[in-house]
Amino acid sequence: MVAGQMANTVRRLSVKISVLKSKLIIEQNLGGGLLARNVEGGAEFKVEV
């Protein structure tokens, strides 16, 4: 794996971990939820508390 591919993989994994941590904090501490969906040009996140 070349350095650019490695950096991209690490970046994607970091984003996934950050979203999961955010979801857990919202659910466990605020009694809400975090919803995500793919939209044209990116992703959309909805926080419900």
Give me the pLDDT at residue 1, please.
64
Q: What phi-psi label fits residue 43: left (phi over 0), alpha (psi between -120 and 50 degrees) or beta?
A: beta
d(CA 42, CA 49): 23
Its pTM stands at 0.76
Amino acid residing at 3: A
Backbone angles phi, psi at 37, to 5 degrees: -150, 155
Burial class of residue 1 (count of CB atoms within 10 Å of its CB; 0-12, 13-18, 19+)? exposed
Are 34 and 22 in contact, with CB atoms under 8 Å apart? yes
For the chain, the domains span: 3-48
> Model confidence over 25-38: pLDDT tens digits?
999 999 999 999 99
